Structure 1
Amino acid sequence: MLTCPLCQAPLTRLDNAVRCAAGHSFDRARQGYLNLLPVQHKNSRDPGDNQAMVEARRDFLDAGHYAPVAQRLAQLAAERAPARWLDIGCGEGYYTAQLGQALPTADGYALDISREAVKRACRRAPALTWMVASMARVPLADASCQFIASVFSPLDWAEAKRLLSVGGGLMRVGPTQGHLMELREALYDEVRPYADDKHLALVPQGMQHQHSEVLEFRLQLAEPKARADLLAMTPHGWRASAERRSRVIEQRAPFEVTISMRYDYFVRQA
């Protein structure tokens, strides 16, 4: 199932490592994850989200603000009952852990390019296989997954198709154009519209768009920390001016925002 990121040969599990027939070996970190991101596949010394972003997202999600988003993803995954699944771009593991609970008998894998994220994620569900790895070079065998989740994550569509067995599917979860509209209006003089279906043009041949739905609800952020965490885990934390960010964080009244998520499911055809 696991493959070597250097030569793509199968990896054999050892006591505290994995190794391929060519002798490439990768140790398991004390936290429980496998680092399958060779230095030559990195674009920087520590790619992906940094510690501050990871901890802000962890605190915000653990407070339950996006619980309906995770619950719906878990329901959709359970309806499809895969034998093996992957969370690609798992971040700090909030959604992954709920997938694991919804699919207790399935073989679960999760990866992210951020070591800081995976280091924290693997504590949530030690029974899953956690990996630091590239989403463009996933160290899993061809046609090995029946379900892939991609939540707020960049996606290599060709790689996702490679990983899916025939009949298996990819569930993509991402924001609609109305997501966090009130926050964006508070941060910018002009809110630029964007198409929340542009990913449909990237879907490769052989994958069929089978299901689409939108989940929308209102969220009240009463505490300054919750508003600060939300900013820190989004691009708005560095795009918006410090003055506008402070105004949002420090206002006395609860800040109400719209949460609007789109779920799209794509099935691998024969």
Structure 2
Amino acid sequence: MLICPICQSALSAYENSLRCSNQHNFDRARQGYINVLPVQHKKSRAPGDNQAMVQARRDFLSAGHYAPLAERFAQLMQERQPQHWLDIGCGEGYYSAHIARALSESQGYALDISREAVKHACKRNAQTTWLVASMARLPLATASCQAIASIFSPIDWQEALRVLAPGGAVLRMGPCSDHLQELREQLYDDVRSYDDSKHLQLLPQGLQPIHSETLRFTLTLDDAQARSDLLAMTPHGWRANSARREAVINNTLTTTVAIRYDWIEKTET
């Protein structure tokens, strides 16, 4: 199932590590994850979210503010009952853990480029295989997955096409144009709309959308720490100026949560 990111040979368990036939070795960390992101594939010394961003996301999500999003995502995954599933850009593992509970009879893999994120994710579900890895070079064999989860995460469609089995699918979750609208209006003078279906125009031959739906609800955050965490886990935490960020943190926030789900199926054999 797992392949070497350097030579693409199969990886096998060897003591407390994974090793390929060319002797490329990847150790299992004491927390339980395996780092299969070679230094030559990194664009920086510590790619991905840092510890502060990971902690903010962990605290916000663990408080249940986005629980309806995770529950619906897990339900949609459960409807397909994949034998093997992969969560790309899993972050600190909140959504992956929901999927794993819904698919207790399936084997799950979850990866992120951030080592700090995966260190936290390992604590959420012991049955999931947690990996530090890049979406650009998925360490999974060709046609090995029946479902890929992409949650607020960039996706390399060609890599997704490669690892999906025929009839497998990507379940993508991303923001609608009015997601956090009221928050953005407080942070910026000009709040621009965008096409929340533009990702469908990027699909390569062999992938086609088969189902889309939207989930909306109103979120009220009375706690200053929750508002601070929300800013820290989104690009708004560094895009907006400090005065406007402070104003958001210091006052109760009521905003729209609007999320789009897309099932995108592999049609070619």
TM-score range, shorter chain: over 0.9
Residue 104 of structure 1 corresponds to 104
For each residue in 1:171-215, what CA deviation from the matched residue of structure 2 results, as whole angstroms up to 9, or x when unmatched? 000000000000000001110111111101111111111000000
> In 2, distance between residues paired with 1:15 and 1:182?
53
Residue 215 of structure 1 corresponds to 215
Question: Which structure 2 residues correspond to residues 25-44 of structure 1 after superposition, within 5 A?
Answer: 25-44=25-44
For each residue in 1:48-87, what CA deviation from the matched residue of structure 2 results, as whole angstroms up to 9, or x when unmatched? 0111100000000000000000000000000000000000
Residue 183 of structure 1 corresponds to 183
Residue 2 of structure 1 corresponds to 2
**Deviation for aligned residue 1:167:** 0.5
> In 2, distance between residues paired with 1:16 and 1:112?
21
Q: Give the secondary structure class of the aligned counterpart of 1:68.
A: helix
| Alpha-carbon RMSD | 0.6
Q: What runs of 5+ residues in structure 2 fail to find an aligned partner?
A: none
Report the identity percentage: 62
**Deviation for aligned residue 1:126:** 1.4
> In 2, distance between residues paired with 1:65 and 1:104?
24
Tell me the amino acid that sits aligned with residue 128 of structure 2.
L
Q: Among residues 261, 264, 268, which one is paired with 2:266 in the alignment?
A: 268
For each residue in 1:94-134, what CA deviation from the matched residue of structure 2 results, as whole angstroms up to 9, or x when unmatched? 00000000000001000000000000001100111000001
**Deviation for aligned residue 1:15:** 2.6
Q: Give the secondary structure class of the aligned counterpart of 1:162.
A: helix
- TM-score, normalised with respect to structure 2: 0.99
After TM superposition, which residue ranges in structure 1, 4 or more long, deviate above 4 angstroms?
Answer: none
State the aligned residue count.
268
> In 2, distance between residues paired with 1:34 and 1:234?
27
**Deviation for aligned residue 1:14:** 2.0
Q: Give the secondary structure class of the aligned counterpart of 2:137.
A: coil
- TM-score, normalised with respect to structure 1: 0.98
For each residue in 1:31-52, what CA deviation from the matched residue of structure 2 results, as whole angstroms up to 9, or x when unmatched? 0000000000000000001111
